[in-house]
Amino acid sequence: MSDSSAPTSRLTPAQESTLDLIRRTTEPLVFSAELVAELREEANEAFAHFGDRLDGNQVFVTKHTLAGVFGCETQFLAPDEFEWTPSRARGQVSHRAIQLLINWRGEAAPAELVDEAIARLLNEEKGLSPWLETLGQGDLADLRAMCSDHVTKFMECFPPLDPRSRPVTESSTQWPVDGQILLRGRADLTMGKPFERESRKLIVDFKTGRVVPRHREDLRFYAIVETLYRQVPPLKLASFYLDAAPPIVEDVTENMLRSTLRRTLDGVHALIELRVEGRPPTKSPGAPCRWCPLAADCSEGQTYLHRDDIADATDDEGL
Ligand code: SF4
């Protein structure tokens, strides 16, 4: 991560606040080679043990997998009935538009970026394209307006990125290279790169909706995958909420890495129990009951949804 992404004199106050939070401090952060070796050894030993229980299956573990097994297990095992909605499409299009912005040369207007993002998504065979094709002019105009709002907020609150800070969007990371259990992360934005063993990388996830603890766990998962793979932990993690600046930033620490690895291994253990060994899933009523496809027939979910004290439903879509 560079010390400065843009000349501060040209930044808005909101951009300066963001930059103050994400910039590298003067004190170098260097995690010991022994710590990284211990983490890799612990993961390798656990994976060898899990491999005996996998019965030839291969499992991919992402932040969504862990959020699922640590959320309501019954919902996690329910058939995936994913459907595009305006809210989900807004996140996807805004994300693509911001991705274009980060690599755009010269001035770009939010509406121009959103139009380009929609055009590119329409050209893809899978994903959002079939849903976009069903939209009439009015719905498309609504979608453009929502996405332009998000891109505008990003431009107003996130400092312009200097190419020397090595901004990379949608950076995929996997560890190990092959095997029965694969940990996979894909960060919305990374900046910086390690200098020898010195941690200098910032990992950013863009979010819409409200702040929930899971978002920090998502980023910590990226941090442990990065550590296992590149052998140098990142420096900082940032959740950037497009509806509420400044970002929530967390320094990477040894305790964080150790506890995140344990959480990840606990998640793989639960995943094998549920998906391979047939343990009956538990129910954990909570916010996910609001969009759970099983809610209508779930007494625990209905009890939760009819409590007087739950806040109004708001989405918490990642972009
Ligand atoms: S309604 Fe709630 S408790 Fe019931 S299965 Fe869905 S998420 Fe779990």
Report pLDDT digits (tens) over 41-98.
Answer: 999 999 999 999 998 889 999 999 999 999 999 999 998 878 888 888 998 899 899 9
193 with 252, same domain: the answer is: yes
SS3 assignment, position 92: helix
Q: Please check whether residue 209 lies inside any domain of the structure.
A: yes
Q: Is the CB of 111 under 6 A from ligand 1?
A: no
Whether 285 lines ligand 1, by a CB cut-off of 6 Å, is: yes
Same domain as 177, residue 58: yes
Which residue(s) pair with 205 in the sheet? 239
Asked if the structure places residue 301 within a domain, the reply is no
Residue 105, token pair as written in the block? 């040369």
**How far apart, in whole angstroms, are the C-alpha atoms of residue 215 and residue 14?**
22
Atom of ligand 1 nearest to the CA of 301: 1
On whether both 256 and 171 belong to a single domain, the answer is yes
Same domain? For 171 and 270 the reply is yes
Total domains, the chain: 2
Residues 177, 135 share a domain: no
In this prediction, residue 3 carries a pLDDT of 46
Domain hosting residue 254, numbered range: 8-80+163-275
Domain identity same for 16 and 55: yes
Burial zone of 113 (CB within 10 Å; 0-12 exposed, 13-18 middle, 19+ buried): buried
How far is residue 220 from each of residues 134, 170, 191, 200, 315, measured CA to CA in Å? 38, 16, 16, 16, 22
24 with 133, same domain: the answer is: no
pLDDT at 4 over 80: no
Residue 312 lies inside a defined structural domain of this protein: no
- 59 within a domain of the structure (yes/no): yes
278 three-state secondary structure: coil
Domain match, 144 and 168 both: no
Contact call for residues 81 and 68 (beta carbons, < 8 A):
no
Judge whether 1 lies within some domain: no
Which residue minimizes the CA distance to atom 3 of ligand 1? Answer: 285
- If asked whether residues 115 and 251 sit together in one domain, one would say no
Q: Do 31 and 96 fall into the same domain?
A: no
The answer to whether residue 119 sits within a structural domain is: yes
Q: Assess whether the C-beta atom of 294 lies below 6 angstroms from ligand 1.
A: yes
Beta-bridge mates of residue 184: 174
Q: Could you tell me if 219 and 236 are in contact, meaning their C-beta atoms sit under 8 angstroms apart?
A: no
State in Å: Cα 280 to ligand 1 middle: 14
Pick the atom of ligand 1 nearest to 302's CA: 1
Centre of ligand 1 to C-alpha 148, Å, is 34
Picking from 95, 130, 157, the residue at the C-terminal end of a domain is 157
pLDDT of residue 1: 54
Mutation pick for ligand 1 pocket among 77, 282, 289 (CB with most ligand atoms within 8 Å): 289
- On the CB side of 130, CA atoms within 13 Å amount to 5
Task: Express each pLDDT in 153-178 by its tens digit.
Answer: 999 998 888 888 899 988 899 999 99
Q: Which ranges in 231-280 belong to alpha helices (H)? A: 254-275
Q: Looking at the domain assignment, is residue 38 inside a domain?
A: yes
What average pLDDT does the segment 19-47 reach? Answer: 92
- Look at the alpha carbons of 283, 284, 285, 290 in this order and tell me if their dihedral is positive or negative: negative
Does 112 sit in the ligand 1 pocket, CB within 6 Å?
Answer: no
32: amino acid identity, one letter = S
Q: What are phi and psi of 249, to 5 degrees?
A: -115, 140
The dihedral formed by the CA atoms of 87, 90, 91 and 96, expressed in degrees to the nearest 10: 160
Clarify whether residues 32 and 138 are in a common domain: no
Q: How far apart are CA 264 and CA 31, in angstroms?
A: 20
221-266 per-position pLDDT tens digit = 999 999 999 999 999 999 998 877 678 999 999 999 999 999 999 9
Identity of residue 229: Y
Which of 118, 142, 157 is a domain's end point?
Answer: 157
| 133-146 pLDDT, tens digit each | 999 999 999 999 99
Residue 15 lies in a domain: yes
Same domain? For 199 and 264 the reply is yes
Q: What is the pLDDT of residues 167-214, one digit of tens each?
A: 998 889 999 999 999 999 999 999 999 999 999 999 999 887 788 888
